[in-house]
Structure 1
C-alpha cells in the first residue's frame, strides 16, 4: 500500500481540461478541453477541408480571419439542443452562416479512434454546405447538396494524416433498409417527390441522396455522368431532363442503385498525407475573464429574445465588474448591451475594449451596430451615419476583407433614404463574394439588382437562396421572386415585397439551427 501511494504521488498529473482557443486557417474553436484533444479536433477539421479542396479543386485560398467558421464546443447533446431551441431530439450539431460571424455548435467529440460519432458527422455535414456554398457557381439541386454533404461527412481520419472520404454512411443504414420508399426518380425529379412526401412522415431522402451521390461518384461505369448532369443543369435544363440525358432511363438507374447498395464492399477515397495540406493549429489558453464570459458569448452570438437579452446584459455587467481590464469581456458586454437595446452602454464598452486591445474585431462591429441604430433617429442623419461608419472603416483597415464594413458602407445610403452610389453597390457585391454562404446578404443584393433593373443578375444571385436545403419560407419566397423575374411579365414597377406571404427573412441566412 505504501509503495502504491508513493507511485501515485510521483505520477505526472493528468491533463486537465481548460478553456482553450484553437486557431487555424479555416476554423476558430473554443472548447473546455485538453490541449491534446482540441489540437486533434482542429487538425481533423483542417484535414477535412483540405481533402474536399483537393477533390473539388476549389476552396484552396484561406478566408479572411473573420470569415472563418467559429465553433463552440459545449458539454453534451442536451446543451446543443437547448442552444438550438430544438424539441425534436434529433439535432446533434448546428451551424449558422453569417457574413463575418459564421458559427457552429457541437458537443465534445471523440477524436481518438478516427471513426466519427454522429455529432462530428453532423458538424462535417454542415461544414460541407458552407464549403459548397462558398464555391458554387449556380444553385445545385437539393438531393445533390444533401448527398454530397453525407458523402464527405462519412469520413475517417488516421493518426498518420490520412483522410478517407466517401466511407459507407452507416448512420443512414437503418433508413435505407427500413424506409426504402425514395427512388432515384424522386431525387432527380422534385415534382415526383413533392407528390409523395405529404403522404408520409419520415423517409430516406438523406440516405438515398447519399447512396445516389456515392454511386454516381465512385461507380466506374458511370464515370463522367455526374459532371455532365451538372453541366446540363447549369445550361438551364430541368433536373429531371438533365438526369435522363446524363444517366439514361431513371427506372433503370434505380435498379442499379438498389444493386449497388447490396454490395458487400463499397469503394471510398483514400487521401494520403502527401495531398493533404492542412493548416497548422495555434492553441491559446483563455484568460479567466474570457472563460467566465464564454457561456454568455455563445448565447449572444446565437441570438436572443428580448427577455433573454436583458438577463444576459445583467449577467455580463456582473462579470465585467470582476474583470474590468479584460478586452474580450468588455467586447462581450458591448454585444450584450446592444442586444438589450442600450446603445450608449454598448458604445462605452466597445470603446473600453478597444482602448485595451485595438484588435477586438467584434468591438468595432458592436459599436458600429449601435451607432447605426442611433442614426435611425438622429436629426442630422448625414452626420450620424458618417459617425456610424467610422468603426467599420477602422475595422476595414484592420482586416481589409472583412465583409461587414462593405455591407454597412452600402447600408449608410439606404438608412438615409439616398440612392446607393455605384461604389456602394459594388461594395455590397464584394461582400457577397467574400461571404457567399450568407443567404440574407444575397437577398439584399438581389433586391438592389432588381431596383437597378439587372434582372438576370438578380436571378443568379437569388438561386442559392431559393434552393437552400434548409431555407424554409425564405427559400419559398425567393423562388416566387425568381418565377416572377423569369415569367416574361412586365417588370417595370416590380416590387419583390409584393410576393411576401410570411416574413421573407431566410432561416438559413439568419442561421436558424440546422442539423
Structure 2
C-alpha cells in the first residue's frame, strides 16, 4: 500500500515472494469475507459474519477500556475513516508468520503505524503447526498481540509523554490481558500466560542496567525487557507502598533528568526494589475490576465484501503490508487489468492504483486514478491517489509537484480528518526544493491529532520545528519515540536529537535530523 514516499521504506518487510504467494493461494473452498466497522477499527475478516462482528466489538471495547483507565470520555471523538485501524484476519498463525517473513516463528500478528492508513494483520484461526504437530502450552495469542500493539497506537495518539522501553512494552503487556465481562466491566492485572516460562526461568535484568539508557543490554536482556518490564510495571502500578512513584519518575524523565539518576532519586535503593520485585513475581498478583459508568455495547456495522473486493483482497493485503521494489512489481502485475474488469468499483480503482504507484508505473496508476475520479469526483481517496501519481512523477520532473497540489487541497477539503492530504501538500514543496509556505506548515501541524501515532510523521514535524527554531516543541514531538531503547553498536540518532536540544545545540540537532532522513531515503530506494 502506498502512502507518501516517506512512509514506504519504513513499512517494508523483506522476504521470500514465493512463500508469500503460497500464503495467499486460493483455497479449495473460499470462505466468506466480511467488513466489520466500529468507531476505531475496520476489520476485514475471512470468517463467518458472527465471528467477524464479535472480534470487532472486542477491539472497540478495548479502546473504551483504555479511555476509561485514562479518565478520557467514552466513546472518544470521531477519528475519521482514514484513521481507523484496518485489521486483516485470514488464515492461521503459520500463515501470518510467513506473511511477516518470519516463517516458523509463531508470530501471531503485527501492526504498522502509518498516518491515514494504520494496519494490522492477525490470523482468523489460532493454530501453530510444528514438526511435532500442533504446538501446546501457553503462547502469544491473536487477541493479546493485537491489544498490545493497539496500546502503543493509543498512547502515541493521545499523549506526548516519553516512556522508557521497559515501560512502553511492560504497560502494553499489562493492558493486553484486560479481561472483559458480560456486564460491561473489565478486569486489569491478569498475568500474560505466554510470558510465564520467561518469568520463572530466565534471570531478572539488574535494575541498575534497565534504568540506565546508556547501558547496552544483551540479546537475552532485550528479550527479557518485555517480561521483566511487565513485572516491574505491574508492581509499580499496583503495590500500595510504591504508589505515585512511577508517575514522579516519568515526569522527571520528561523534564530531561537522566533515567538512572531519576530512578535512584524516586525509587530509592534500586537493590531493595529489585528484591521486592523478585518476591512479587511469586504472586499473588494484584489487580482490580472496573465498571464503566453508562456502559453501552459497541456498535458494529457489518457488510459482505463485494465481488470486486473479494477478487482483489489478497493482493491488496500484500500491498498494504509493505513491499520492496521487486514485490511491488509482482503485486502490480497480479492486479493489472482488474481495475478495468471492475470498472464500476471504486475500491478496485483505489487498490490497483496504489499497487501501481508502489511499482512506479505512473501511467497505469493514473488510469486507475482517473477512473476512480469518474466514479466519484468527490472521493477524498480518489483525489489523494491522483495527487500521489504526480508526486511519483516529481522524482524525474519537478514540475509535477505543483500539479499534485490542487488534488491534495481538494482531498483535504473533502476529508479534514485524513492527515495524508496535508502531509502530501507540505511534502510537495519540500521535495520540489521550494520554500515551504506558511499555509503548508500550518496544515502539517493541524493534523498532529490524527497522525501522532506515526513515527514518520513525528520526524517530519520535528525537522520542521527545528528549522523554525522551535527546539522545545520539537523535543515534545520526538521524545516519545526517542526513549525506546538502550545504547547499542549504532548511535541512537533520535535520542541524540533530544540531547542536542536539551543542550541548546539546535544546529547539531538539525544535523542529526539530516542524518536520519538521509538513512530513510537510502532505505526507501531499495
Q: Residues 395-415 of structure 1: CA distance to partner in whole angstroms, max 9, x if unpaired?
A: 222211211111122112213
Q: 2:37 aligns with which of 23, 28, 33?
A: 23
Instruction: Report the RMSD for the aligned CA atoms in angstroms.
Output: 3.0
Helix, strand or coil: the match of 2:266? helix
**For the residues of structure 1 that align with 2:254 and 2:296, how far apart are their CA atoms?**
31
Matching of residue 477 in structure 1 with residue 493 in structure 2: yes
- Verify the 8 A CA contact 2:366 2:389 in the aligned structure 1: yes
Matching of residue 178 in structure 1 with residue 197 in structure 2: no
TM-score (norm 1): 0.85
Q: 1:104 to 1:416 in 2, by over 3 A?
A: same
2:18 equivalent in structure 1? none
**For the residues of structure 2 that align with 1:175 and 1:116, how far apart are their CA atoms?**
12
Matching of residue 310 in structure 1 with residue 324 in structure 2: no
Q: 1:277 to 1:497 in 2, by over 3 A?
A: same
1:126 equivalent in structure 2? 149
Q: 1:202 to 1:235 in 2, by over 3 A?
A: closer
Structure 1 gaps, min length 5: 1-15, 511-515
Q: 1:246 aligns with which of 266, 273, 276?
A: 266
Further displaced range: 158-167 or 69-78: 158-167
1:54 equivalent in structure 2? 68
Further displaced range: 241-250 or 285-294: 241-250
Return the offset for 1:329. 1.4
Helix, strand or coil: the match of 2:257? coil
**For the residues of structure 2 that align with 1:230 and 1:505, how far apart are their CA atoms?**
33
2:384 equivalent in structure 1? 365
2:361 equivalent in structure 1? 342
**For the residues of structure 2 that align with 1:474 and 1:354, how far apart are their CA atoms?**
46
Further displaced range: 234-243 or 56-65: 56-65
Structure with larger RCO (C-alpha < 8 A, sep 6+): 2
Return the offset for 1:474. 10
Matching of residue 40 in structure 1 with residue 63 in structure 2: no
- Verify the 8 A CA contact 1:443 1:465 in the aligned structure 2: no
1:188 equivalent in structure 2? 211
- Verify the 8 A CA contact 2:94 2:104 in the aligned structure 1: no
**For the residues of structure 1 that align with 2:443 and 2:282, how far apart are their CA atoms?**
52
Further displaced range: 316-325 or 75-84: 316-325
Q: 1:82 to 1:279 in 2, by over 3 A?
A: same
- Verify the 8 A CA contact 2:204 2:228 in the aligned structure 1: no
**For the residues of structure 2 that align with 1:40 and 1:356, how far apart are their CA atoms?**
33
Matching of residue 404 in structure 1 with residue 411 in structure 2: no
Q: Residues 62-85 of structure 1: CA distance to partner in whole angstroms, max 9, x if unpaired?
A: 322211111111201222122222
Return the offset for 1:239. 1.8
Q: Residues 283-332 of structure 1: CA distance to partner in whole angstroms, max 9, x if unpaired?
A: 11100110110011111112222222222222212433543322211211
Return the offset for 1:17. 4.7
1:8 equivalent in structure 2? none
Return the offset for 1:207. 0.8
- Verify the 8 A CA contact 1:473 1:504 in the aligned structure 2: no
- Verify the 8 A CA contact 1:471 1:506 in the aligned structure 2: no
Q: 1:52 to 1:472 in 2, by over 3 A?
A: farther
1:4 equivalent in structure 2? none
Helix, strand or coil: the match of 1:104? strand
Further displaced range: 32-41 or 200-209: 200-209
How many pairs were matched up?
A: 482
1:63 equivalent in structure 2? 79
Return the offset for 1:94. 0.5
Which of structures 1 and 2 has the bigger CA Rg? 1
Q: 1:464 aligns with which of 476, 480, 490?
A: 480
> 1:267-282 counterparts in 2 under 5 A?
267-272=286-291, 274=293, 276=295, 279-282=298-301
Helix, strand or coil: the match of 2:121? strand
Matching of residue 418 in structure 1 with residue 441 in structure 2: no
Helix, strand or coil: the match of 1:204? helix
**For the residues of structure 1 that align with 2:377 and 2:494, how far apart are their CA atoms?**
40
Q: 1:472 to 1:62 in 2, by over 3 A?
A: farther
Matching of residue 218 in structure 1 with residue 238 in structure 2: yes
Return the offset for 1:258. 1.3
**For the residues of structure 2 that align with 1:190 and 1:365, how far apart are their CA atoms?**
41
Helix, strand or coil: the match of 1:252? helix
Q: 1:469 to 1:445 in 2, by over 3 A?
A: same
Q: Residues 163-220 of structure 1: CA distance to partner in whole angstroms, max 9, x if unpaired?
A: 222211221110011102313433323345x2x526x577422111101111111122
**For the residues of structure 2 that align with 1:185 and 1:95, how far apart are their CA atoms?**
32
Helix, strand or coil: the match of 2:492? helix
Helix, strand or coil: the match of 1:491? helix
